[in-house]
A = this chain, B = another copy of it.
């Protein structure tokens, strides 16, 4: 059975504080199902949100680029929920159609050559060590 979704109105004060922080940080006015499910384990909700908030913040890489990397991983792993949610997030952060198409092309190609390198049992070049 899928985990129950914990809505804002049913949440404890400390969970509401996390929900508020998610909405404020992401500038959205609703909470998506991932967080509502994770709230079944409040410790996990808090730890995961704190980590994501820290990791996805602007830094040496800009937030859009980070979101596209998230999509690349999710597509490689065939995670349906993650593909849908992070593609939407990337679009919200400015990913155009052209950027999305190039992202998909690179992800597809990398998955292909990853297998060619493995199948041909290619030894690592000294220059890369």
Residues of A within 8 A of B (CB): 1-3, 30, 32-34, 37-38, 40-41, 43-44, 47-48, 51-52, 54-56, 59-61, 65-66, 68-88, 96-99, 101-125, 127-129
Contact = CB atoms under 8 A, between A and B. Distances in A.
B74 A105 contact: no
B2 A122 contact: yes
A19 to B, nearest CB: 15
Contacts of A68: 61, 65, 69
How many identical subunits does the complex contain?
A: 6
B2 A123 contact: yes
A30 B88 CA distance: 30
Contacts of A74: 110, 114
B103 A61 contact: yes
Nearest to A50: B47
Given A34-B122, A60-B101, A111-B114, 7 more contacts: A34-B120, A51-B109, A60-B96, A69-B110, A75-B118, A84-B125, A108-B116
B82 A117 contact: yes
